[in-house]
Amino acid sequence: MQVYTCPFCGLRDEREFFFAGEAGAARPDTTGPVSDAEWAEYVHMRRNMLGRAREVWMHLTCGELFVMERDTLSARVLGSVALRGAPGGGEGADGAGSADDGPDGEGTP
């Protein structure tokens, strides 16, 4: 069993979490025409990185989404950041970045 950190609840059993996808996928700009290929790329194509990866997870107990950075080779968790303001972190915390390198600039998950 692994233990993951919810930014809101702290350390919890991995069975309380749901994988929601890779972080950083940029949604196509829908202010103009979007091709089927662009939608397919956004919806289906994943990098599936070996090593350090940023992923969106949901803690099923509190229902919050957050970004977890982990090493997919060793399964070691490197950090967790809320997608919205965490308790004590104030509103407006972007939460899109990793625990140590800030926002990636690739858009929201």
Q: Could you tell me how many residues of this chain bind Zn ion (CB under 5 A)?
A: 5
The residue among 8 and 25 lying less far from Zn ion, judged by its C-beta, is: 8
The residue among 28 and 85 lying less far from Zn ion, judged by its C-beta, is: 85
Task: Map residues 30-69 to x or -, x wherever contact with Zn ion holds by CB under 5 A.
Answer: -----------------------------x--x-------
The residue among 18 and 42 lying less far from Zn ion, judged by its C-beta, is: 18
Residues 94, 23: contact at Cβ < 8 Å?
Answer: no
